Structure 1
Amino acid sequence: MIYKCYVCVALGGLLTLVAGAVRGQQVEVPVFQQSIEKENVQVFDVRTAAEFSTGHLHNALQADYTNKGEFLERVGYLDKEQPVYVYCLSGGRSTKAAAWMRNNGFKKVVELNGGINAWKQAGQPVEGVADTKQLSVEDFRTAIGKGEVLVDVGAEWCPPCRKMQPVLDAYLKANKTVRLVKVDGGRDTQVMESINATSLPTFILYKDGREVWRKKGVSDKL
């Protein structure tokens, strides 16, 4: 009977370890901070765009976990073979997001225990605090008023926007007369509303202030 109890205890401990491995990792700030400094690491912020603009971790990508359409679209641009370090405000949303990712083929997903709240309390820096003034509709109209202008509605934290950067660079290199105007998808909401840009990325070509074509989402050319 004693032998069986020892076996049960050992088996229970083994099952706990296996279950922990399946669930993945939840680490404290120092480990998270050291880990995201490595190469080929993806940092994933699953808060809203408004929360993201109050400060985020370096090089973080963003997708609102509570917006299922946005989350499913943007998570599709992450590399399942490379580690993903995920966080939210305090840990609730990132735990759910990480569970979904593990169940959908991501090899390594690590959560920040306590979220960005814990990060800030530990004295770690954030970047991207939205202290820049919105681009006004009037200034935007002036910027696109003459010549050929390509408007890029996107954001550095948007995974599909990053994927389109080489395509955008190639287009501008091949079309040297075209000027680029960037509209920040997390800040310039009045301009986005005025041009009916509802998704990121959106590319719109203007000639002397008149829209001649637009393209939404990811493609291999503009």
Structure 2
Amino acid sequence: MKMKNWLIGISALGVVGGGAYYFTPAVQENSIVKSEKIKEDKFDELKEAKIEILDTSAFLDKNIEKWFDKNKGTKGESRYYDNTYTYVLVSGGEKANDNDIIWLDGVRKINDKLVIGYEMKDGKEFGVKTKEGQVPTLLIRTKGEYTEVKGIVVEKKEVKPDAPKVTTKKSEVVDEDVEKSDKEPDVEDKEKVKEKVKEEKKNKKEEAN
């Protein structure tokens, strides 16, 4: 994917954003909003929303703090609008496992709707350990009003490992008989052959006598 992933196990603060704007047809919009999962390439085609990931250890706005405290134990997504920003709270719920964390794939927007790509993961996979009994939450905000928020799982592309390259070396062992047959005998070899033939003839004559 084009943007980074976030593992949300504790409070954090950050800003992300970018992307090109275009209007999403109603048919595609309804299809995505009704789905529980979306392919990674389809998710990347949507306009990326510029968001802030907010620190929930302290709040400057008491109304947002009350809304957060009221909804943080409820699994799923909650929305709040303060006439300037739309706030989205993502929660693993009170029944989440102790070491659950939120894996954020990004936030996209479809007209007046926000699509939050995320899923719950076991923090042990990433060497993250959370406090016992802590509810995993993620609080983000984006400028403007969005009337609906949709949480969705982004299905990643399967990356197949490259097949190992098999290299074969030509045998360095040469058949001695073939090697000998391919070579022309030199002068010295010819003389030896002649001497051997003469000696054999001589031996035969002696045997005959």
- Which structure: greater helix fraction? 1
In terms of Rg, which structure is larger? 2
TM-score range, shorter chain: under 0.3
Larger relative contact order (Cα-Cα within 8 Å, sequence gap ≥ 6): 2
- Which structure: greater strand fraction? 2
| TM-score normalized with structure 1 length | 0.19
